[in-house]
Amino acid sequence: MNVHQWNIVAPEMRFEEFVDKNREEARIDKSYICDKEKRVAEWGEINGIKSKLEIVYVEGAGRGAIATKDLKAGDVAMEIPVSIIISEELVHQSDMYHILGKLDGISSETMLLLWSMKERHNSNSKFKVYFDTLPKEFNTGLSFGVAAIMALDGTLLLEEIMQAKEHLRIQYDELVPALCNKYPDVFPPELYTWEQFLWACELWYSNSMKVMFPDGKLRTCLIPFAGFLNHSLHPHIIHYGKVDSMTNTLKFPLSRPCLIGEQCCLSYGNFSSSHLITFYGFLPQGDNPYDVIPLDFDAGEPDSMEDCPVSSQTTHMVRGTWLSKNHNIFHYGLPSPLLNFLRSAQGLTLHNMTITRSNLEIEMQILEDLQSTFNNMMENLGDADLVDSDRETAAWDVKLAIEFKDLQRRIVSSIVTSCDAGIKLVQHELSKWTAEE
């Protein structure tokens, strides 16, 4: 094989290695009867959906889509006509738009949410088959019970969920009761309870997609059939969300191959696990690079920014240090912006980061302070909440909360371990200076 041939083949070999490493064979639960899903697939086909995927029940993931044939990168896994995409145009055609359209500050997303609360009960709806496939409960973080919330003690996810629910409750109280009282024929009170409002919020948070239409407008939409595709950190479908003006369809092309029987996944976005739990109701498998621990600092900006190109913000994000490739002196697997921020507070700049006794002593102080901070975080997280046998019988929300807390412990533990390893590195370098003196 000559060099020219190697340059062509090698990237393909490396890509195939990546695909093999991240390929997950779908474990299909054949005991689950997918009658509703089959009906929506048939309905979609009648209405113009073209799909090379089949809806199944995947163990550990719920409903998902598997490839019905070997698909290669560039193939279109499914193609959905605009005519069955649920967007704001449907609200404009409804009996409630003449009311909602006059309200100041109401968004198209809120209008759609209110529309879907009523439309799901409409036996004559064009989308009845689609609404019938939706779960009675979405099981996102917004539906966490008291026990799950308590299990999140010591994590920022607790605050995130509580704030999100409070925001939705305020939105509901300010809008919905007044509409029901003033226009009961259009907004029947029995269809607009808090519980049904929360259900609709979870529907739109977990299933909606941003779609760019040919008129150049970006709209929030529900895409029948596409909502069955699960998220993955290594998705097959990455680039989607723009209507093809030639075919007037929304296409979902593959960015990497998907073999027959393999679950076909798309990317919901670059979200942290806390966001995915709160608004989607799951913890992704694998190492999520967007999982971070925020560190807030009250310290002011460094005196001189000219020689120290570091962030002036007071919040820094720290990932699990197993994701870092550099654990050497002055790095330790920790984020450089954080370390440089702390060094600048001690008067150090990037230009004088050399192995000197004074610099090493400052490094030691920084690492010890960070280790102490994260040790305190670990104490706040507490010990593991349940033994394995109890986890199996725990409620879905408690189990999810505990899994998230375990992830937080793993991240914090990795940072503490890296600080400890860094301290030993610095001590070793300091011992050389002591020996020379």
Tokens 């920790």 correspond to: 334
If DSSP states are collapsed to H, E and C, what string results for 46-61? HCCCEECEEEEEECCC
Kindly tell me the number of DSSP H helices and DSSP E strands found in the chain: 14, 10
| CA-atom Rg of the chain in angstroms | 26
Residues of the chain with pLDDT under 50: 1-19, 301-311
The pLDDT tens digits for 299-342 are 554 444 444 444 455 799 999 999 999 999 999 999 999 999 99
Q: How many residues does the chain have?
A: 437
The pLDDT tens digits for 116-137 are 999 999 999 999 999 999 999 9
Q: pTM (2 decimals)?
A: 0.87
The pLDDT tens digits for 65-97 are 999 999 999 999 999 999 999 999 999 999 999
The pLDDT tens digits for 284-303 are 999 999 999 999 987 554 44
Phi, psi (5° rounding) for residue 402?
A: -70, -40
Whole-angstrom Cα distance, residue 18 to residue 411?
Answer: 25
DSSP-based three-state secondary structure for 183: coil
Whole-angstrom Cα distance, residue 380 to residue 340?
Answer: 27
Phi, psi (5° rounding) for residue 294?
A: -80, 140
Distant-in-sequence, close-in-space partners of 366: CB < 8 Å, separation ≥ 6: 339, 342, 343, 346
Domains for the chain: give ranges and CATH numbers. Answer: 1-83+228-282 (2.170.270.10), 86-222 (3.90.1410.10), 293-436 (no CATH)
